[in-house]
């Protein structure tokens, strides 16, 4: 029995799951481990995967990009008002500038504001499970400031089903999901075991994301790149060209690599390295400065970054002259693109490197 993800995979007596008695079966909580087993977020890399080196250049630091995830369908509805502040540092996301956009079940005590968020203008993609228990609404950039009953945002995205493929959503650079692939609260702890889903990462577009007029800087499953990609991506490149490293690329440590050969110094990096090899990570956004970023959860259930620091004794945001920074440098500079990742052969096809995600518990 695999006991990974103890806070999210729920083990029930066989009498409750209409299975043959004699042993317990692992089930998963869709709120914590969403989407179909064959979703891009849950499919392991396959034995027929073909790899091309992504040639990601060394960065100046390691950081995170936080997805706001609210899986509380019975919470009171919060009105979300339009704000055109976006990533303009001269404007405040706390101020409304337009119409009512929608109503979402978001607790009033979940504050996402300049007083609580990381950085000046974070991406702040929001994914919220609606009262029907299936529909996920997504918007960006979300804010809910102190003393305000309403939230603000600007861009809306097509609905996704919690139990479906869940590919798309509120990552503005790629159009990919704001919940799929995020490192969730309860993962990457000393007790949680291996990560069993694909990850999401951002890298510096000026150095590392290829653009030309034919590809438009993206590849499946992404359907877009940043609007500023022409004249921006690859404009500060030092390494040889890596045309396959575009928005939406599935980045992975190749199957032929022994992760132990990287001689990683920290245990969380060793866990991540295995996930990068077994499932890979989708490139979903541009960091817009010379750092790497991994995508993590922030929501009413907790904040991954705070849990990480409590468990491991250091922040996931570090300069490169630290053990964690050196580990991330080794991982990112060894990432390859799975070039035959496609709708009909997710992860490259062949025998999956890891078991498929188990069935859901009933909500």
Categorize the per-residue pLDDT at 288 as very low, low, confident or very high, splitting at 50, 70 and 90: very high
Cα→Cα distances 144→31, 93, 101, 138, 278, Å: 22, 9, 14, 15, 37
DSSP H or E stretch at residue 10: strand 9-12
pLDDT at 18 > cutoff 70: no
pLDDT at 217 over 70: yes
pLDDT at 292: 98
Report residue 23's pLDDT band, with 50, 70 and 90 as the boundaries.
low
Q: Cα(196)–Cα(42) distance, rounded to whole angstroms?
A: 7
Looking at the predicted structure, is the pLDDT value of residue 10 above 50? no
198-to-183, 273, 325, 347 alpha-carbon distances in Å: 9, 12, 21, 10
The mean pLDDT value for 281-305 works out to: 98
Q: What is the pLDDT of residues 51-109, one digit of tens each?
A: 999 999 999 999 999 999 999 999 999 999 999 999 999 999 999 999 999 999 999 99
Q: For position 154, what pLDDT does the model report?
A: 97
> How many C-beta atoms surround the C-beta of residue 352 within 10 A?
17
Q: How confident is the model at residue 25 (pLDDT cuts 50, 70, 90)?
A: confident
| pLDDT of res. 111 | 98
* CB proximity list for 45: less than 8 A, separation 6 or greater: 250, 252, 255, 277, 278, 279, 280, 338, 347, 348, 352, 353
Residues in the chain: 363
In sign, the C-alpha dihedral spanning 244, 224, 253, 264 is positive
DSSP per-residue string spanning 40-56: TTTPPPBTT--EEE--P
Model pLDDT, residue 24: 65
| Mean per-residue pLDDT, 127-135 | 98
pLDDT number for residue 37: 98
pLDDT above 80 for 291: yes
Q: Among positive and negative, which fits the CA dihedral 278, 276, 129, 110? A: positive
Taking the C-alpha atoms of residue 325 and residue 304, their distance in angstroms, rounded to an integer, is: 18
Q: What is the mean pLDDT of residues 218-226?
A: 98
pLDDT classification of 15: cutoffs 50, 70, 90: very low
**Helix runs in the chain, H state only:** 205-208, 267-278, 304-312, 323-333
Average pLDDT over residues 146-151: 97
User: Across residues 186-211, what is the average pLDDT?
Assistant: 97
Mean pLDDT of the chain, nearest integer: 93
This prediction has a pTM of 0.93
pLDDT-derived band at 14, boundaries 50, 70, 90: very low
pLDDT band at 363 (very low <50, low <70, confident <90, very high): confident
Q: Where do the structural domains in the chain lie, given as residue ranges?
A: 1-30, 51-64+182-348, 67-161
pLDDT tens profile 312-330: 999 999 999 999 999 999 9
Instruction: Look at 13-27, 237-251, 284-298 and tell me which has the smallest mean pLDDT.
Output: 13-27
């Amino acid at each position: 029995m695999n006991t990974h993800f103890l806070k999210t995979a729920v083990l029930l007596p066989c009498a409750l799951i209409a299975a043959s008695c004699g042993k317990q079966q692992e089930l998963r909580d869709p709120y914590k481990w969403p989407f179909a087993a064959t979703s891009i977020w849950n499919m392991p890399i396959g034995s027929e995967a073909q790899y091309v080196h992504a040639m990601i250049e060394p960065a100046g630091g390691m950081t995170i990009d936080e997805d706001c995830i609210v899986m509380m369908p019975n919470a009171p509805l919060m009105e979300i008002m339009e704000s055109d502040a976006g990533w303009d540092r001269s404007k405040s996301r706390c101020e409304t500038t337009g119409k009512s956009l929608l109503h979402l079940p978001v607790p009033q005590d979940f504050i996402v504001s300049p007083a609580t968020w990381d950085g000046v203008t974070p991406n702040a993609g929001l994914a919220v499970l609606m009262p029907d228990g299936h529909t996920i609404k997504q918007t960006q950039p979300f804010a809910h400031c102190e003393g305000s009953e309403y939230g603000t945002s600007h861009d809306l995205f097509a609905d996704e089903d919690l139990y479906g493929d869940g590919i798309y959503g509120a990552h503005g650079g790629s159009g990919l999901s704001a919940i799929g692939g995020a490192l969730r609260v309860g993962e990457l702890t000393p007790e949680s075991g291996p990560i069993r889903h694909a990850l999401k990462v951002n890298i510096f577009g000026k150095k590392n994301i290829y653009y030309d007029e034919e590809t438009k800087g993206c590849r499946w499953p992404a359907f877009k790149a940043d609007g500023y990609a022409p004249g921006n991506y690859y404009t500060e490149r030092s390494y040889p060209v890596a045309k396959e490293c575009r928005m939406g690329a599935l980045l992975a440590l190749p199957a032929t690599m022994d992760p132990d050969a990287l001689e990683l110094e920290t245990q969380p990096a060793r866990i991540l390295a295995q996930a990068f090899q077994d499932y890979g990570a989708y490139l979903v956004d541009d960091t817009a400065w010379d750092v790497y970023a991994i995508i993590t959860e922030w929501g009413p259930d907790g904040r991954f970054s705070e849990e990480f620091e409590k468990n491991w004794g250091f922040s996931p945001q570090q300069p490169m002259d630290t053990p964690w920074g050196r580990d991330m440098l080794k991982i990112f500079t060894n990432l390859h693109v799975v070039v035959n990742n496609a709708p009909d052969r997710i992860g490259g096809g062949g025998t999956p490197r890891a078991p498929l995600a188990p069935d859901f518990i009933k909500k």
